[in-house]
Structure 1
């Protein structure tokens, strides 16, 4: 697909387009005003990368310290999984919990000293969150 309007000709450096009669503009355009459809880019034209996946982050109130305005990735709290769980129990409509929270809880309860391989800053999908919250809240 080349775009919504067909190029019908070229005069000098301008392209003529087949425009609907309801368009009250001249049908001649310079090439810098035209582009091919996203699924059919021009030679050498690249698509911008998709927007980044939103990661789950938390702000923290540290005891006996001034307010911390920083946001920290969810995986920074994998060694405090019960606090993360309790936060989401108290705030079930907030984004999250982290999708690896059940694994963080198990690793913590198993007494593992390190579980760096469980880093993950993405939130649970809706279905997984619903199941997790149902078990957590005992609904």
Structure 2
């Protein structure tokens, strides 16, 4: 069974990756939409007597925004799943997996690709400034260099 891992976020390039897979990949593949939940949500768990009242108030606002972002991400993942279904992929072979960020997002994607024994990774290249990408690289670039033998499609 061929398994394809699609690291997914709410970017335009992630949506383009779904479009690409929908039109160019055989429908007998198993697809996993993989979302790494950024560790910004960890700030919501902070609770200490040393927190200032201002931080406490702002943390609550931030946490409400973070909850809304997570709900929107679930809707985006469901829409991506529906697009794959509409393209002819089998409902029983489309999975959505979300996990909290452990290391950095690229490392978490590589770990999932290797431990899940995926036959391919397809992901969008995040649009960033050329200078920023040159110095620190993109997640797609980091993933590609660390996959060690797992083919990768980068959708631009």
TM-score over 0.5 (shorter chain): no
TM-score of the superposed pair, with normalisation by structure 1 = 0.24
Which structure's relative contact order is higher, taking Cα pairs within 8 Å and 6+ residues apart? 2
Higher strand share: 2
Higher Cα Rg, which structure: 1
With the length of structure 2 as denominator, give the TM-score of the two structures. Answer: 0.22
Higher share in helix = 2
